[in-house]
A and B are shown apart, each in its own frame.
Chain A
């Protein structure tokens, strides 16, 4: 994307760092629970608050989840990785250091394909992914002079995913976050809820003149907690930096914060005040060594991922690229669709799903998991139309009833007598009646007002209470008019 400035055209260079909480029952180095939303300091072990003599023990499930995620990012899995201590002093970190990985992360370079609005795709390069422990949570608004610390979150496993600076617009960054969230949810390795903080994003933003090859200093925007805010923050920051340069000022690397109220980024600290983390290898944990057999075993557990599902739906179920993208973004939707389309016309099921069905869920404020209309019943409804048992118009009424009662459409059609009339003689009688009652229009039609045909079709269908098969009505009218 090109941004026009007073002195010429600019472009955005942006990279993301995403912290994703690992789904596991217990924490990464202790056996306390990872449950969210419990009373303060209830899910805490002595390891999590760094009591003297406590030692970390790695939770193998967190490793499984990280390897699974790495494979989902089409990334290199490092058979040898090392835990390090990242030293800094803060009240939510009782150890005085975070156990993380530094030079030797568990996951190396990978690729995520993102889908853009114009229908194109772009590959975003993943630089690395490492695993580490989360910190406690501070509450600053309970008192003017004190901070309150809850360590329930301390020690929950995190995966930190770092991308290359491959984003040239906020749209691309937004599409990446949605795609990443979708992959993580398919894998079941992170729930991806940014509003609960289980996925948190830092964005590095710089700008440069179109044609420049090097990078200018960047601003790091910390802890943005929704896709929309990440996109706003990138746009606002790029605009701000262009203004700085165009006013003839210099810009140095710095850390900033996004303020959702103003939609602007706020200064936090300069580079020279950046933390000096003094990383060194964690003496309490030997290196993590994985075997080829182990990685192969995890690979065999991988579910079908969004891109593969999308391709399959396009190829074997007749969906357009756009349909497949919308349906595959959410694992539950894709599963519902597949069940509904089983044995029926995939494209028609997709149209119903993305049209009336989604509209109904929205209106009733429901998710697909608690939809009153089951996948099987949606498939049956499409079949009833396909087999000419009901018309598309009647189908809408049947769908309304289904979304109220959850009933089987075949039963509704049977009980309410909604079956389409395909009996030519019955329709013929109605056609004759309509013609007899509207002789003036018949004359007008024969004198050249051919667009009255549609009006006649409408009258016949109306007389049949919507049940006459439109194709037969058309054929009969052609004959009789």
Chain B
């Protein structure tokens, strides 16, 4: 599997990362190095092996349905770049 420059640009855009045009080629090479290294895993024969979703067998710990948090808009908004009327404020986003 090889990554081309188009894919680099697409992934950067999906991740909201800015990559300068003159860095695209170098990023592509780095990408390919990493992927080729991970590709070694495909040498292992996994036919008939179920996918593994967790490395340890721990049972999922659950929570009881109780409300213990809230009424802390001031703390929640403390790190917001802009907050008005207890809302987070962002540049207009309309899809």
Q: Of B18-26, B37-45, B84-92, which stretch is located at the interface?
A: B84-92
Q: A146-B89, A148-B85 are in contact. Are A31 and B73 (CB under 8 A)?
A: no
Q: Nearest CB to that of B58 among chain A residues?
A: A286
Q: How far is the CA of A150 from the CA of B85 in the complex (A)?
A: 10
Among residues 53 to 95 in chain B, which have CB atoms less than 8 Å away from a CB atom of chain A? 53-54, 56, 58-73, 76-77, 79, 82, 84-95
Does any Cβ of B come within 8 Å of A450's Cβ? no
Q: Is the CB of B95 within 8 A of A146?
A: no
* Contact among B10, B60, B64, B79 with A287 in the assembled complex (CB-CB below 8 Å): B60
Q: Nearest CB to that of A150 among chain B residues?
A: B87
Does any Cβ of A come within 8 Å of B34's Cβ? no
Q: Nearest CB to that of B71 among chain A residues?
A: A42
Q: Which residues of B contact A30 (CB under 8 A)?
A: 69
* Contact among A33, A57, A61, A148 with B87 in the assembled complex (CB-CB below 8 Å): A148
CB distance from A293 to the nearest CB of B (A): 15
Among residues 1 to 48 in chain B, which have CB atoms less than 8 Å away from a CB atom of chain A? 10, 14-16
Does any Cβ of B come within 8 Å of A138's Cβ? yes
Q: A287-B53, A288-B60 are in contact. Are A149 and B69 (CB under 8 A)?
A: no
Main secondary structure of the interface of A (DSSP, over half): loop
Q: How far is the CA of A144 from the CA of B89 in the complex (A)?
A: 12
Q: Is the CB of A147 within 8 A of B89?
A: yes
Q: How far is the CA of A59 from the CA of B82 in the complex (A)?
A: 32
Q: How far is the CA of A62 from the CA of B59 in the complex (A)?
A: 17
Does any Cβ of B come within 8 Å of A321's Cβ? no
Q: Is the CB of A33 within 8 A of B67?
A: yes
Main secondary structure of the interface of B (DSSP, over half): loop
Interface size class of B (residues with CB under 8 A): 35 or more
Q: Is the CB of A40 within 8 A of B87?
A: yes
Interface size class of A (residues with CB under 8 A): 35 or more
CB distance from B35 to the nearest CB of A (A): 15
CB distance from B91 to the nearest CB of A (A): 7
Q: How far is the CA of A329 from the CA of B63 in the complex (A)?
A: 34
Q: A145-B91, A146-B91, A147-B93 are in contact. Are A61 and B77 (CB under 8 A)?
A: no
Q: Is the CB of A26 within 8 A of B54?
A: no
Q: How far is the CA of A26 from the CA of B69 in the complex (A)?
A: 9
Q: Nearest CB to that of B56 among chain A residues?
A: A286
Q: Nearest CB to that of B68 among chain A residues?
A: A31
Does any Cβ of B come within 8 Å of A481's Cβ? no
Does any Cβ of B come within 8 Å of A82's Cβ? yes
Q: Nearest CB to that of A136 among chain B residues?
A: B88
Identify which of A39, A144, A145, A149 gathers the most chain B CB atoms within 10 Å of its CB.
A149
Q: Nearest CB to that of A64 among chain B residues?
A: B65
Q: A41-B76, A145-B91, A281-B53 are in contact. Are A59 and B62 (CB under 8 A)?
A: yes
Question: Could you list 9 A-B pairs, sorted by A, with CB under 8 Å?
Answer: A39-B73, A40-B87, A42-B72, A59-B62, A60-B65, A147-B93, A148-B87, A149-B87, A286-B60
Give chain A's interface residues, CB within 8 Å of chain B. Answer: 24-26, 30-33, 39-46, 49, 51, 57-63, 82, 87-91, 138-140, 143-151, 268, 276, 278, 281, 285-289
Give chain B's interface residues, CB within 8 Å of chain A. Answer: 10, 14-16, 53-54, 56, 58-73, 76-77, 79, 82, 84-95
Q: Which 3 A-B pairs have the closest CB atoms?
A: A61-B65, A148-B87, A60-B62
5 extra interchain contacts, Cβ-Cβ under 8 A, other than A147-B92, A276-B14? A41-B77, A41-B88, A42-B72, A147-B91, A281-B53
